[in-house]
Amino acid sequence: MAVSRRGRGFFEKGVKPLVSLLSAVGITPNMLTVMGLVLTALSLVFYSWSRVDRLNLVYAALLIALGGLLDGLDGPLARLTGRQSSVGAFLDSFTDRVSDILLTVGFLLTGLVDVYLAVAMLSTSMLVSYARARGEALNVSLKEVGLGERAVRILAAIVGTLAASLLDVGLTAAAMFIVVVASITVVQRVWTTLTVLYGRERG
């Protein structure tokens, strides 16, 4: 999961004891990546059950939070154990995209979010990742560019899901926030990429 350099430093320092424990018991970075995806997938059950009892949204939020935590731990664990690899990087990126899709499906299962808004949320989230992938394929660093990195969007989804257990507008507000910050991030990354590329061509 992408976070800012400063945020990653604070996060890795805070979770170092936990990461060391995971390493000691034989947990690998790829295991954490897959477990994070599984927890996110399980949240769909509680999103759907929220039509019967809104308390299920609290459980859904907890699963999303745990899934996000595990996804955030795979990088620190890989660096601690020296298991950074292209396979792990690909798997992490791929499962992040699947998680984005699952989260959108979860929002829709509640019946509280408009289909068009959900499509906009997913589309803008995917464009954030695509803009970075294409930019970095052209050797333009975009790691620190943009307000709406995935960690921000996941946090918004968690807060919105918890809020929706009490207020109908919680998920809609979260989806709208994600669309806005993701759209801003896409513009920032496209602008940065084009600026660098134009500069190279003129230079």
> What is the helix (H) or strand (E) element at residue 169, kind and residue range?
helix 169-202
> Contact at 8 Å (CB) between 162 and 58?
yes
Consecutive 10-residue averages of pLDDT for the chain (203 residues): 56 79 88 95 98 97 95 87 87 94 97 97 95 92 86 95 95 97 96 93 78
Give the chain's domains with CATH numbers: 5-202 (1.20.120.1760)
- Sequence-ordered list of residues with C-beta below 8 angstroms from that of 171, at least 6 positions apart, any chain: 107, 110, 112, 113, 160, 161, 163, 164
Give pLDDT, residue 6: 54
Give pLDDT, residue 4: 52
Pick the catalytic residue: 71, 74, 92, 96?
96
Active site residue 74: no
Give pLDDT, residue 98: 96
* Model pTM score: 0.90
